[in-house]
Structure 1
Amino acid sequence: MNNNYVPFGDLKGGRLILAAFVLALANFMVVLDMTIANVSVPHITGSLAVSSSQGTWVITSYAVAEAICVPLTGWLAGRFGAVRLFIISLIGFTVFSVLCGLSTSLEMLVMCRIGQGLFGGPIMPLSQTLLMRIFPPEKQSQAMGMWAMTTVVGPILGPILGGSISDNLSWHWIFFINIPVGIFCAVAALRLLKPAETAISKIRIDSIGLFLLIIWIGALQLMLDLGHENDWFNSTFICALAVITVVGLIVFIIWELTERHPVVNIQIFRYRSFTISVLSLAFAFGAFFASIVLIPQWVQINLGYTATWAGYLTATMGFGSLMMSPIVAKMSTKYDQRALACFGLMLLGIVTLMRSFWTTDADFMTLALPQILQGFAVPFFFIPLSNMALASVKPHEMASAAGLMNFLRTMAGAIGASIAVTMWDDQAKVARSEMVSNLHPESTQSTLIQSGMSPDGALGYISSLVDKEALTLSANHVFLILSMVFVFAGLIIWLCPKPKVGGASQPMH
């Protein structure tokens, strides 16, 4: 791609805007499905008569399938063509959404969620690649702003939409709502994007690389999902999964670096700008998703919020993101993108530090203010880092680069959430034991008994207060660590070479 950009077919004006909207909408649908089932698990488990721990397989089966397919996008796009693969993925995702909604057993639902994840995985990086392909270089930052908006807002709206649909209709409809969106995007892509099709080459499949990828990602995802309830590395099963993950990853990297037609093009990490941008993005997203998981749980357990109100609190972040995404996209064409990313990450660090002073009697506005500020900060790091990463690779490597970036971001989110929840639980136990050792419950108990409580009731009341305070102190501790992660991500971005104003870290090839 160069400055003598020629539109594909008649993709300009209104048709170009519509094509961009279709790509962003398809991405939004897939990102939304990551979190829409989270709050619906109790409804699903009740309906299918299974335990809540079995119900989480509805979420994890989708995540595993998607994580495996995302880095394969580059190879699949080279084999079948980016536009053709995008349309096939949309059709497959829609068909499996219908089957998920029609599921009558957990086994059927999990199998259909795997199908949904396999077809949904390539949609995210392909939507990004095709946006970069159909827009001229000077407009790519704005196109990425639109894409970033859907990626950030999707996980926020997911729990609210999932909760509302499950409460007022039935859990089946969280899958059925994909049908009109999927059909519209597939038909529109077929009509609009055909001229932007990429070249096809008969590349043989790297079956050993694919097998190794499935093994280590599957082991890692299972370790993250089951680690907390199995007491992590005190469990032989979790230790075995950890060994499989590490050994599998090392063998996979060695194999892919020596394979002539690798299933995942690891060579893309030779670009310093891509590597640093993606590393910063992974750290930031790990901390970002950790807070998204932690806050709703804390407000429900400690402050008595309902799932819907916890969703509303999370959603206050959406206003800033929606407002700032187009503005930051425009700023990316005029200012050093490293400075924009650093500003956004430092602001996120300050916002997360504000949360480390929360108390058990915090009101809604105290909790919502950091959320609103976080919404303003997210586009500042997400858009410039995505731009810098993708602008530093050659056009034929774009699909592979987008796949790798989305894969690392998704896995960083899962790892960050797992580590944060474990730390929260462990720190709460430490805080509780310290509080109990300094507590003199007899005097407090006698005061409560005098006010009309039974001795057991008074002890129970004191115990619940200690539990709440311990959970709050622990959450504050986790937020303090997450704020340091944001600051670290903001500092390492300066290791990138200075990007050209307007996008590329190196001239577009």
Structure 2
Amino acid sequence: MATSPQYTPPPPLKGGALVLGTLSVSLAVFMNVLDSSIANVAIPTISGDLGVSIDEGTWVITSFAAANAISIPLTGWLTQRVGAVRLFVTSIMLFVLASWMCGLAPTLPILLAARVLQGLVAGPMVPLSQSLLLGAYPKSKSSFALALWGMTAVVAPVAGPALGGWITDAYKWPWIFYINIPVGLIAAGLTMSIYRTRETPTRKLPIDGVGLALLVTWVAAFQIMLDKGKDLDWFASPVIITLGIIAAVAFAYFVIWELNNDHPVVDLRLFGRRNFFGGTIAISIGYGVFFGNLVLLPQWLQQYLGYRSIDSGLSTAPIGIFAVILMPLIGRFLPSMDARKVATASFVCFAGVFWLRSRYNLEVDQWTVILPTLLQGIPTAMFFVPLTVLLLSGLPPERIPAAAGLSSFVRVFCGAIGTSVATTAWNNRTIVHHAQLTEHATPYSPWLQQSFNNISSLLGLNQEQTTGMIERNITAQAAMLGINDIFWISAVIFIVIIPLIWIIKPSKGGAGSAEAAGAH
């Protein structure tokens, strides 16, 4: 938030007010981030109930993420128009309303419209939560404040699949949205009671209407292109080509316009700072890979291993165990550590986790599925906080909210891209492996004849039934090989982007210390 010279920030909160203030902000962030993943395991159920394919059902996830990314850059302008606290509470209340609309949606188009609204109103919540939380703690405790924020932001997408699976199996999928209503009302009430005297000053600034229109145009065109590409055979389709051209042209004009505007909707000049550039690109690519895999794994478990929604959700939940235990410790000791080394260790561990997953097969037991997920909590705890500290370090206080908003925009948008790319890549690799497997499945293949005879005699199936079972087995095998490819590529990506961390120059007073992020 830009502040006037006469504005003096209020003193840090103390005692019970600090506890309740932290709880209120954390609840809002948890609710917001939870909705980015809670629908993951419910996609097959939602798709079936609404009569659409699973690929179309995935738009429930990507539409929210894309809309969320579009609205995040408006946080700075809206904050100066209405005030940080009022904007934060308003966002929470509108999010509650949009969640109620999602639960009532009778068709996919209506559900997608409600999800877009939900994503739009959720945009200011994450950057404002960071700003409010840092303002509530002493500068010396800023690392701990960021650790609490990071713990909430990490645990929420992990808890989402488990909670979503339980709700989907025990009740009905609309309740994955209805649960936001009581949580949001409590968060809004607590926030207003604790922070109402800490409102920021307001002033009227011109809105960059052209920049906003270009932003919406290229983000929407690019996301629709990714979501519809597989169905329309990518660039063999005039629709996809048109969307690609619109996205490219709008993005080019957007960059030129924003760099030459006195009041840009997105301050792209921040990318001229090496710390912000390296930290933002690293955290965004890493989050895109992380979130894309978080979407794929439950779908594979349900479609090909026969897991129920709750079982697939519980298989991804253990990531939160180490994340919750280690993240406060990371926040406490980070000021005395080189945050670049911590982030590098995180990326190496992520690569190891995805390599373990790339060795899955169709006979994999649940413990083998859970183990990499459990271990993933370790790099997750070392991921968000150090990189957030690094990308904000060295910035003057008036630029921190804009930097946090822009970083959140890029990260959330990469999460949407990661979901679309991972889903498409899995489908493409599955098709390739299916073609390779069927090349060997000829009437003259000894293994095929033996399998055919064994299945027919053991199960008493006729020729048509036996052929169908073999085809299903080949499809499942191809899907397994395809998702293994995605896991292996994900491991490679985490190793390849490590140099981005090391272009960052630690600020004075510590190697990328959290105090630098909070005090500068």
Q: Return the TM-score normalized by structure 2.
A: 0.90
RMSD of aligned C-alpha atoms? 2.5
Question: Distance between the aligned counterparts of 1:437 and 1:101, measured in 2?
Answer: 46
In structure 1, the residue matched to 2:397 is: 395
How many angstroms apart in 2 are the aligned matches of 1:224 and 1:323? 37
| Equivalence map 1:61-140=2 (5 Å) | 61-103=63-105, 108-140=110-142
Say which is worse superposed, 440-449 or 313-322, in terms of deviation.
440-449
Match of 1:250 in 2: 252
Give the percent of matched residue pairs that are identical in Structure 1 and Structure 2: 39
Aligned counterpart, 1:221: 223
Match of residue 287, structure 1, among 269, 286, 289: 289
Measure, in 1, the Cα distance between the counterparts of 2:329 and 2:323.
10
Tell me if the contact between 1:142 and 1:330 (Cα under 8 Å) persists in the aligned partners: yes
Which residue pairs with 1:477 in the alignment?
485
Measure how far apart 1:138 and its partner are: 2.1
How far, CA to CA, are the matches of 1:289 and 1:27 in structure 2? 17
Equivalent residue runs for 1:16-31 within 5 Å:
16-31=18-33
Q: Which residue of 1 aligns with 2:234?
A: 232
1:445 equivalent to 2:452? Answer: yes
What SS does the corresponding residue of 1:495 show, helix, strand or coil? coil
| Per-residue deviation, 1:386 | 1.0
The Cα shift of 1:99 comes to: 3.8
State how far apart, in whole Å, the 1-side matches of 2:57 and 2:298 are.
19
Q: Distance in 2 between matches of 1:438 and 1:257?
A: 56
Residue number in structure 1 paired with 2:506: 498
Instruction: Give the Cα–Cα distance (whole angstroms) in 1 for the partners of residues 409 and 517 of structure 2.
Output: 23
Q: Deviations over 1:63-121 (max 9, x none)?
A: 33212111211222222222221122122222333344445565554443333222211
Which among 420, 424, 444 is matched to residue 422 of structure 1?
424
- Cα distance in 2 for residues equivalent to 1:494 and 1:53: 38
* Match among 347, 350, 353 for residue 352 of structure 2: 350
Separation in structure 2 between the aligned mates of residue 126 and residue 229 of structure 1, nearest angstrom? 38
- Contact kept, 8 Å, 2:34 with 2:156, in 1: the verdict is yes
Q: Could you say if the C-alpha distance between residues 461 and 63 of structure 1 is closer, same or farther in structure 2, counting changes exceeding 3 Å?
A: same
Residue type at the aligned position of 1:210: L
Moved more, 174-183 or 364-373: 174-183
Could you tell which deviates more after superposition, 109-118 or 302-311?
Answer: 109-118
Per-residue deviation at 1:161?
2.2
Contact 2:141 2:515 in 1 (8 A): no
Of 141-150 and 418-427, deviating more is 418-427
- Gaps of at least 5 residues in structure 2 are 2-7
Distance, in Å, in 2 between the alignment partners of 1:77 and 1:281 is 25
- 1:60 deviates by 4.3
1:50-72 per-residue CA deviation (whole Å, 9 max, x = no partner) reads 77666555444433321211121
Deviation at 1:242, TM superposition (A): 1.4
Of residues 3, 10, 13, the one that matches 1:11 is: 13
Q: What is the alpha-carbon distance in structure 2 between the residues aligned to residue 58 and residue 125 of structure 1?
A: 23
1:297 aligns to what? Answer: 299
Report the residue type matching 2:453 in the other structure. S
Report the equivalent of 1:433: 435
Distance 1:82 1:476, change over 3 A: same
Matched to 2:514, the amino acid is G
From 196, 208, 211, the counterpart of 1:209: 211
Give 2:478's aligned amino acid. A
Q: Residue by residue, what CA displacement relative to the aligned partner does 1:110-148 show, whole Å, maximum 9, x if unpaired?
A: 443333222211101110122122222221111111111
Question: How many Å separate the matches in 2 of 1:436 and 1:84?
Answer: 60
Q: Which residue of 2 aligns with 1:162?
A: 164
Q: Per-residue displacement from partner, 1:166-187 (whole Å, max 9, x unpaired)?
A: 3333334333322222222222
Moved more, 228-237 or 49-58: 49-58
Alignment of 1:238-387 (within 5 A): 238-387=240-389
Q: Deviations over 1:314-357 (max 9, x none)?
A: 11212121111111111212211000000011011111111111
CA distance change for structure 1 residues 114 and 444 in 2, over 3 Å: closer, same or farther?
closer
Q: Normalised by the size of structure 1, how large is the TM-score? A: 0.92
Distance in 1 of aligned mates of 2:56 and 2:144: 42
1:146/1:478 Cα in 2 relative to 1: closer, same or farther (>3 Å)? same
CA positional deviation for 1:17: 2.4
Offset from partner CA, 1:1-35 (integer Å, 9 cap, x none)? 9xxxx983561232122212211111111111222
Alpha carbons of structure 1 residues 488 and 58: separation in structure 2 relative to 1, 3 Å: closer
Checking the alignment, whether the CA contact within 8 Å between 1:271 and 1:392 is kept in structure 2 is: no
The answer to whether the Cα contact below 8 Å between 1:74 and 1:397 also exists between their aligned partners in 2 is no
- Residue type matched to 2:420 in 1? S
Tell me, yes or no, if the aligned pair for 1:212 and 1:248 is still in contact at 8 Å: yes
The answer on 1:146 being equivalent to 2:132 is: no
Match of 2:414 among 412, 415, 428: 412
Q: Distance in 1 between matches of 2:453 and 2:54?
A: 40
Confirm or deny: 8 A CA contact 2:168 2:309 kept in the other structure.
Answer: no
Secondary structure of residue in 2 paired with 1:199: coil
Query: What is the CA–CA distance in structure 2 between the aligned matches of 1:337 and 1:189, rounded to whole Å?
Result: 31
**Separation of aligned partners in 2, 1:472 and 1:354:** 14
Change beyond 3 A, Cα 1:457–1:140 = same
> What's 1:190 paired with?
192
Tell me if structure 1 keeps the 8 A contact 2:169–2:310.
no
Residues 428 and 64 of structure 1, relative CA distance in 2, 3 Å threshold: closer
**Count, aligned residues:** 505
Output the amino acid matched with 1:89. S
The 1:172/1:291 distance shift into structure 2, 3 A limit, reads: closer
Q: How far does residue 199 in structure 1 lie from its aligned partner after superposition?
A: 3.3
Q: Is the 8 A contact 2:426 2:482 kept in 1?
A: yes
Query: For the Cα contact (< 8 Å) 1:343–1:490, is it kept in 2?
Result: no
Shift of the 445–172 alpha-carbon distance from structure 1 to 2, 3 Å rule, reads closer
Q: Distance in 1 between matches of 2:265 and 2:287?
A: 25
| Pair 1:116–1:284, CA change in 2 (3 A) | same
Q: Cα distance 1:145–1:246, how it changes in 2: closer, same or farther (>3 A)?
A: same
